[in-house]
């Protein structure tokens, strides 16, 4: 029977089992469950949000149904919490095992593979079937928190260089401006550009699944691996679907995590046939325009400087009653 | 009848299936199976039959199957329907 692992001894056994199998024991999770046999832990698995991790079965007990039971329990518990899509990080050698559980492979790099339960990626892509055009297309993935003149400049440069530009707005709700507001600011701020298509990333690019450290901003070394998977997933599954041959990105002088991401992009995408073009940031009042600069001004209530940094469509939103509610709480990021 | 809440039934074990139901405007059924190639159509027919038996007209039905037999499909789906239509 699968049970919750709660006591200190449970945790000690879980750590030992996970490490024995060559995985890293990560102490952050929403659920940690396992199966005991005669007082000994023989299978373990954890769930953090929609991500299942550390799924391990003792060497002496493999080949049975323990992994299925643990995965069932974690999916069931996640579902109770309102989550309806699940991912798993595991060793590439276990990919076939998870495929037999109806997981499908998203990306795999040397030591780690990312799979999802079900075929959400195909469903996500097919939702955009009608927006796919032939030709040499470009892509930008951006949070746009909020949409600035810097984003606008990047979009203009990219759109003028290629047939069509797909602008993927980060779906994840971890930012000051909620997704709906960010999407609207982007749509309104690019409506005059005929060859720009605005889409959302779902869980498949810069999300808490593919790139959790993006939202932390502290250059966590463990993030490097996931950054790679995020880019592999983009390069092998998303870009080909939209005939994307170039990914555009703004140069990053300030934030370490984003700078690392850009560096990883130059390393991973070109071998997959995707050119990476880094565009020098537009500046205003002596410094690069960035969304974090806008948020900083908002948090201090300094509205005067903002008009220089954002398009009028964004400014209108920020000053609307809906917009004011979002930033007038002294919250940053 | 309509699905009025998000529910789940079944397991990820071999010879079983997992059923997820959620409210939706129309009836939308997606089935993934490790034996899709061999039995995809038969599974679909069974699922449609059970949905029709219970008069389900609207809802999102997601199924991941690992080679469950007809009886298992019927039982898991009926359990989920009962849970999902309970007010």
Query: What is the rounded radius of gyration, in angstroms, for the C-alpha atoms of chain B?
Result: 12
CA B74, B76, B79, B81 torsion-angle sign = negative
Residue A249 C-beta-side C-alpha neighbours within 13 Å: 21
Residues in chain B with CB shorter than 8 Å from the CB of A71 are: 12
Tell whether B79 is within 8 A of chain A (Cβ): no
Residues of chain B with pLDDT > 70: what percent? 100
Given a contact cutoff of 8 angstroms between Cβ atoms, the answer to whether A265 and A250 are in contact is: no
* Residues sharing a CB contact under 8 Å with residue A3, sequence separation 6 or more, in sequence order: A33, A34, A35, A36
Q: Note the pLDDT tens digit of each residue in A17-73.
A: 999 988 889 889 999 999 999 999 999 999 999 999 999 999 999 988 999 999 999
Q: Which pTM was predicted? A: 0.86
Establish if B51 belongs to a structural domain.
yes
pLDDT value at position A223? 65
- Please indicate, yes or no, if residue B55 is contained in any of the structural domains: yes
**Residue B16 included in any domain:** no
**Test mutation, A50, A96, A118, A119, chain B, max B CBs within 10 A:** A118
Contact B14, B38 (CB under 8 A): no
Burial of A80 (0-12, 13-18, 19+ CB in 10 A): exposed
- Domain containing B39 equals 32-87
Report the candidate in A185, A211, A207 with the shortest Cα–Cα distance to residue A198.
Answer: A185
Instruction: Using DSSP, state whether A323 is helix, strand or coil.
Output: helix
Minimal CA separation from B45 to chain A, in Å: 20
Q: In chain B, what residues touch A103 (CB-CB under 8 Å)? A: none
Q: Where are the domains of chain A?
A: 2-118, 129-327
Query: Which residue bears the tokens 């999102």?
Result: B60
> Could you tell me if residue B20 is inside a domain?
no
Within 10 Å of residue A215's Cβ, how many Cβ atoms?
A: 16
For the ranges A93-97, A179-183, A309-313, the lowest mean pLDDT is seen at A93-97
- The answer, yes or no, to whether residue A221 has pLDDT greater than 60, is no
Residue B10 lies in a domain: no
ipTM, interface predicted TM-score of the complex? 0.87
Report the pLDDT value the prediction gives residue A218, as an integer from 0 to 100: 55
On the question of pLDDT at A235 being above 50, the answer is: yes
How many whole angstroms separate alpha carbon B64 and alpha carbon B17?
6
Dist CA A62 CA A70 (whole Å): 13
Burial of B61 (0-12, 13-18, 19+ CB in 10 A): buried
CA pair distance A167, B73, nearest whole angstrom: 42
Percent of chain A predicted with pLDDT > 70: 96
A103 shares contact with chain B (CB less than 8 Å)? no
Between strands B27-33 and A164-169, the pairing is: unpaired
- Render pLDDT for A245-294 as a digit per residue (tens, 0 to 9): 999 999 987 788 888 899 999 999 999 999 999 999 889 888 889 999 99
Whether omega for the bond prior to residue A146 falls within 30 degrees of 0, making it cis, is: yes
Question: A129-327 maps to which CATH number?
Answer: 3.40.50.620
Q: Are A205 and A239 in contact (CB under 8 A)?
A: no
Please state which of the ranges A13-27, A161-175, A178-192, B18-32 shows the lowest mean pLDDT.
A13-27
Tell me the pLDDT of chain B averaged across its residues. Answer: 95
Strands B27-33 and B59-65: parallel
Instruction: Please give the torsion angle defined by the CA atoms of residues A228, A232, A238 and A241, in that order, rounded to the nearest 10 degrees.
Output: 160
- pLDDT tens digits, A58-108: 999 998 899 999 999 999 999 999 888 899 988 888 899 999 999 999 999
**pLDDT given for residue A217 in this prediction:** 53
| Cross-chain residue pair A82–B22, CB shorter than 8 Å | no
Instruction: Compute the average pLDDT of residues A126-134.
Output: 95
Q: Does any CB of chain B come closer than 8 Å to the CB of residue A119?
A: yes
Structure tokens at A2: 């699968």
Q: Which residues of B touch A101 (CB under 8 A)?
A: 12, 66
**Contact assessment for residue A243 and residue A132, using Cβ atoms and an 8 Å cutoff:** yes
Counting the structural domains of chain B, the total is 1
Q: How many CB pairs under 8 A join A and B?
A: 45
Mean pLDDT of A196-212: 91
- Yes or no, beta carbons of B66 and A100 under 8 Å apart: yes
**What does the pLDDT read at residue A121?**
93
Per 3-state DSSP, chain B is made up of helix, strand and coil in percentages (nearest 5) of 40, 30, 30
What CATH number has the domain spanning A2-118?
A: 3.40.630.30
CB A169, CB A183: distance < 8 Å: yes
CA–CA gap between residue A316 and residue A30 (Å, rounded): 40
Least confident of A211-215, A244-248, B67-71, B77-81: A211-215
A72–chain B nearest CA distance, Å = 5
Can you list the positions of beta strands (E) in chain A? 2-4, 31-37, 40-48, 51-57, 87-90, 103-109, 112-117, 137-142, 164-169, 196-200, 244-250, 275-279, 283-284, 287-288
Residue B25 lies in a domain: no
Q: Do B62 and A117 make contact, defined as CB atoms within 8 angstroms?
A: no
């Amino acid at each position: 029977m699968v049970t919750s692992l709660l006591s200190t001894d449970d945790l000690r056994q879980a750590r030992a089992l996970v490490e024995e199998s060559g995985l890293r024991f990560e102490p952050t999770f929403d659920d940690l469950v396992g199966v005991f046999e005669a007082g000994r832990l023989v299978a373990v698995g954890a769930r953090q949000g929609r991500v299942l991790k550390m799924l391990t079965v003792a060497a002496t007990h493999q080949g049975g149904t323990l992994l299925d039971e643990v995965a069932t329990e974690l999916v069931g518990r996640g579902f109770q919490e309102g989550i309806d899509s699940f991912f798993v990080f595991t060793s590439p050698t276990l990919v076939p095992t998870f495929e037999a559980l109806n997981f499908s492979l998203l990306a795999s790099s040397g030591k780690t593979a990312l799979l999802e339960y079900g075929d959400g990626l195909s469903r996500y892509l097919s939702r955009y079937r009608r927006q796919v055009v032939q030709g040499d297309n470009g892509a930008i993935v951006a949070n746009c928190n909020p949409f600035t003149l810097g984003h606008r400049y990047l979009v203009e440069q990219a759109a003028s260089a290629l047939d069509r530009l797909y602008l993927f707005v980060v779906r994840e709700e971890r930012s000051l401006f909620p997704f709906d507001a960010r999407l609207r600011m982007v749509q309104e701020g690019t409506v005059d550009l005929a060859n720009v298509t605005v889409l959302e990333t779902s869980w498949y690019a810069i999300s808490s699944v593919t790139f959790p450290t993006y939202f932390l901003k502290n250059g966590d070394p463990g993030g490097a691996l996931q950054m790679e998977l995020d880019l592999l997933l983009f390069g092998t599954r998303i870009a080909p679907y939209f005939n994307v041959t170039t990914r555009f990105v703004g140069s990053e002088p300030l934030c370490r995590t984003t700078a690392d991401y850009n560096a990883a992009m130059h390393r991973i995408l070109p071998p997959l046939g995707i050119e990476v073009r880094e565009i020098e940031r537009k500046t205003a009042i002596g410094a690069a325009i960035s969304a974090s600069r806008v948020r900083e001004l908002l948090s201090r209530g300094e509205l005067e400087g903002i008009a220089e940094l954002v398009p009028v469509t964004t400014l209108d939103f920020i000053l609307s009653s809906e917009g004011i509610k979002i930033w007038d709480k002294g919250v940053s990021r | 009848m309509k699905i009025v809440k998000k529910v789940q039934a079944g397991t990820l074990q071999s010879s079983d299936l997992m059923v997820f139901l959620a409210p939706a405007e129309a009836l939308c059924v997606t089935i993934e199976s490790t034996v899709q190639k061999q039995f995809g159509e038969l599974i679909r027919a069974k699922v449609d039959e059970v949905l029709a038996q219970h008069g389900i007209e609207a809802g999102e039905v997601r199924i991941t199957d690992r080679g469950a037999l007809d009886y298992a499909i019927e039982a898991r789906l009926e359990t989920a329907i009962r849970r999902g239509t309970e007010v």
